[in-house]
Structure 1
Amino acid sequence: MTDTEVKIGQTMPYSGPASSFAAIGRAMTAYFQKVNAEGGVNGRKINLISLDDGYSPPKAVEQTRRLIESEEVLAIVGTFGSPSNFATQKYLNAKKVPALFLGTGANRVSEPATYPWSMGWQPNNHAKGVIYAKHLLKERPNAKIAVLFQNDDFGRDHLKGLRDGLGDKAARMIVKELSYEVAEPTIDSQVLVLKASGADVLVDISTPKFAAQAIKKTAETKWDALHLLSDAAGSISSTLVPAGLENSKGVITMLFRKEPTDQTWADDPGMREYLAFMKQYMPEANPTETLHLFGYATAQTFVHVLRDCGDNLTRENLMRQATSIKDLELSIMLPGIKLNTSPTRYTPLSQEQLVQFDGTTWKSIGEVIDAEK
C-alpha cells in the first residue's frame, strides 16, 4: 500500500468446473477500473490482483499465499466459492488478514467468534432455507415437501435452515430428502424418486447445471410441484435458458438485487448506472448475467468500507469499518434491502425477495422476507 494505491487480492475459478462464476471477478475488476478512472477512493487507486484457483482448494491456498506473502495485499476481497474459502480461512485468520465479502453463502465464513477476520457478503445458506420455510408456512401450510440438495456444506446449510424455519412442522411437511454429488452426470433418478413421494413442492438446493436438469425432468414427467430454486441457480441465462424457458415458467427463486430483464427497472437510476457501466467497462459481456451484478455490488460494498477508513488504512481499521456497516442501500439492490454488520454480526445481508419466472423474467411475489425477524 502507498499514498496513491491500495492493493487487494482474490482468487476466482477462471478455469475448472465453476468457471461461469469467474464473471464475479471480472465485474469486480471492471468496477474498480471505473472507480479509479473517477479518481479512486480518498485519493488512492484500487489495485485488485485477481488470480485463478481453478475451483481447487490446494490451488486457492497456493495463490492466496502468493497474494499475502509476495504481493503483500492489504486484504482478500470477494474470493468465490466455499471450497476455496474454507481452504484459506485458517491461514488468513492466523495472519490476521481481512477476508471480506467472500462469495459464498456458507455459514462458516460469518462466525466472528471462531474466525474474526472472515466475512461473507450474501445472505448465508441457512438464512435462505429459513426464508423458504417462512414463505411455505404462510402460503402452503399443508405442503408436502420434497428436497433435492447438493451433498456438501452448501446443500446441508440450506436444508438445516429449511428444517429450522419449519420448526415442529418439519417432520410432517418434509416427505422426502435426496442428495446428489457434484461429480454425478445427472440427477434424473433423484427427481423420479422425489416425484414418487407424492410431494407437491420441490425445494431444489442445487447449482445451475443440476437445477436446469431438474426443471427439464419435472416438465418431462409432468410433475407439477411448485419448484423453489436456490438463488445460486437463479440466473436466467445459466439455468433457465438451458432448461427451456417454457419449462421454467412458474419456478420460484429469491433475489436481493434488481433483475436487468425486468422492465420494472427500465427507468431506475441504479439500473441505468449499472447498464452504462457494463457498456463502458465490460462491452463484450452479457449485462443480464446476474453474476456481473453480484460482482458489481460486492465491489460497491468494499468501496463503501474503504471510504469509511479515511487515511487510516490498517488491517485492523479495515475490519473495524467492515463490522460497522449501518443500513447501507446499494443502487442495484431491491427496495428495502439493506446491509448491516456489527462486531458480532458478520452477515451483511439477511433479506431476500421471492420472485417467480413468468416465461420472460423474474417477477416479485409478496414482501421482502428477513431471515432474522
Structure 2
Amino acid sequence: MRTRAFRAIGVAAAVLLTLTACGGRGDSGGSAAQGDCKGQQTVGITDTGIKLGGVYPLSGPASAYGEIPKGVRAYFDYVNAEKGGIGGRQVDYQVRDDGYQPAKTVEEVRRLVEQDQVYAVFQTLGTPTSSAVWDYLNDREVPQIFVAGGATKWGSDTEHEWTIGWQPSYLAEGKAFAQYVKEQKPNATVAVLFQNDDFGKDLRDAFAAGIAGSGVRIVAEQSYEVTDPTVEAQVRNLSETKPDVLLNFSTSKFAAQALSADVRNPDWNPLHMLSMVANSVSVLKPVGFPNVQGVVSGAFTKDPSDPQWTDDEAMRLFRAKLAKYAPGADPTNTYTLVGWAAAESFHKTFESAKCATREGLRDAARNISGITVDTLIPGITLKTGPGDAFPMEAIQIQRFEGDHWVRVGNVIDTGK
C-alpha cells in the first residue's frame, strides 16, 4: 500500500502539495514525461540535469568506506566536464554523512528526498543503515539504486521493487568461499567471526549452506556489534578451538583488528578468509603486509594496486581522471575504484532506460542486459531480469601476495 499524505479526495492545493512532497508526477521533466512516459515521476530530473543523493559513513566506525563517494564524484565530474553529462544531463551528486547510524541515515535520506528533491538515492552504504530507509523510499516510489552492500534481501525481496543492490550478494560470496574451502581443505574445521546483523549472518549462513554434506565443519562462532570497541576477545575465543580456517566476516575496522589478533597468536596459523567489504589494501597495510601474506578473499573489481593492470586502458582512465577530479584521493584504494565502477554502472543503466523517469530507472535496473563495466574483473558483467534482481553474481577468489592481490582460479559464477 502506497503512503500518501492525502488520499483520493482533497482540494486541489492539497493534492498539489502532496505530489510535490512525495516525489511528484507529470511534465516537469519536459520531453522525459512524454509518450509512454507521461504521468511518471520526473522530480529531480530535467532535460539538462539529474540530481542524485548518496549516504555514506564519512565518520564513525565505518569511515573507511568514505573513499567510495570520492570515486563516484570523480566519475560524475569527469562525464559532466568531458562527456556532456549523462544523456546530455549534468549530474548534481550530493553526499550526506550518516556515521553508520541508522537513525542518522533516515534523517539524511529524508533531507535528500523532501528538501533536495533528488531524482534517486544512488547508494546508501551498509545493511542496517540501508534497511532503515528502504520502506520510506519504496512508499514514496523513490529509486534506492545500487545499494552499497551485499545483503541478499536487496535482490530477493519482491515487495521493495524500488530498491536494488549492485555488488555480488553475501549469499554469492559465502557460496564462493565454501566452494574454495571444499576444494583446498576438504576436511577443514572452520571458525567464524561475524558482524551481528544481516551482513554477517548472510555470509555465515551462505557458507554453512555451501559446505553442507561435505567434510568441512564449522566448529566455533563469535559475533560482535558495530558499537564494540574491539573484537580481540572474540578472536581469542575462536583460536582456542584451533580451527584450520578463520572466516573474517567483518567490516574494515574490525577486520583489521582480527587480522592483527591472528598475527599475534604464534600457536595458530589458520587459512584467513576475509570478506570482500574489508579487503582493500588500505585495510591491510596498517596490519603490515608481511603479516597478511596468504590471506584469501574475493573480488569483483580489478585491484588498483596490482601491477598487472598498470597498462589496462580502463584503469589508466580511472587513475588519470581521479587525479584530475579528486586530487588527493588514493588511486590504489579499492573503495575508490568501487565508487567509480558503481557510478559507471548507474550511467549505463540510466542510458538503457526507456523513460528518463523514476519509474524508468527502476525498470531499467531490473532489466539489465549484460552491461560491461571496464573496471570490473574480466568475465564479470551486470545482468538482471524477471525473477533475478542480483546485478552481479560472479566472484573471483584472490590471495594476497607481496603488496597486492593475485587471482586464484577462474571466476566463480554463483548464479548458475
| Paired AA for residue 127 in structure 1 | A
Match of 1:122 among 167, 172, 185: 167
| Paired AA for residue 361 in structure 1 | H
Q: Which runs of 5+ in 2 are unaligned?
A: 1-44
**Runs of 4+, deviation exceeding 6 Å:** none
Report whether the alignment pairs 1:84 with 2:129.
yes
Higher-Rg structure is 2
**Residue 24 of structure 1 contacts residue 295 of structure 1 at CA under 8 Å; is this kept in 2?**
yes
Q: Alignment RMSD, CA only?
A: 1.5
Q: Deviations over 1:111-169 (max 9, x none)?
A: 34121110011111121111100111122111111111111111101001001111233
Report whether the alignment pairs 1:159 with 2:159.
no
Match of 1:105 among 121, 131, 150: 150
Measure the CA separation in 2 of the matches of 1:236 and 1:12. 20
What does residue 410 of structure 2 align with?
367
SS of aligned partner of 1:100: strand
Match of 1:357 among 363, 378, 400: 400
User: How many residues are matched?
Assistant: 370
Measure the CA separation in 2 of the matches of 1:81 and 1:246. 30
Offset at residue 182 of structure 1 (A): 2.2
Measure the CA separation in 1 of the matches of 2:249 and 2:132. 23
Offset at residue 313 of structure 1 (A): 1.3
What does residue 97 of structure 2 align with?
52
Give the TM-score of the pair, scaled to structure 2: 0.86
Match of 2:247 among 171, 183, 203: 203
Measure the CA separation in 2 of the matches of 1:193 and 1:42. 55
**Residue 186 of structure 2 contacts residue 214 of structure 2 at CA under 8 Å; is this kept in 1?**
no
Give the TM-score of the pair, scaled to structure 1: 0.95
Q: Superposed, which structure 2 residues align to 1:322-333 within 5 Å?
A: 322-333=365-376
Report whether the alignment pairs 1:186 with 2:238.
no
What does residue 361 of structure 2 align with?
318
What does residue 78 of structure 2 align with?
34
| Paired AA for residue 200 in structure 2 | G
Percent of residue pairs identical: 41
| Paired AA for residue 306 in structure 1 | F
Q: Which runs of 5+ in 1 are unaligned?
A: none
SS of aligned partner of 2:398: strand
Match of 1:136 among 172, 181, 193: 181
SS of aligned partner of 2:410: strand
CA distance 1:70–1:192, shift in 2 (3 Å): closer
Report whether the alignment pairs 1:229 with 2:270.
no
SS of aligned partner of 1:7: strand
| Paired AA for residue 329 in structure 1 | T
Measure the CA separation in 2 of the matches of 1:354 and 1:215. 19
SS of aligned partner of 2:84: coil
Report whether the alignment pairs 1:24 with 2:68.
yes
**Residue 219 of structure 1 contacts residue 247 of structure 1 at CA under 8 Å; is this kept in 2?**
yes
Report whether the alignment pairs 1:3 with 2:22.
no
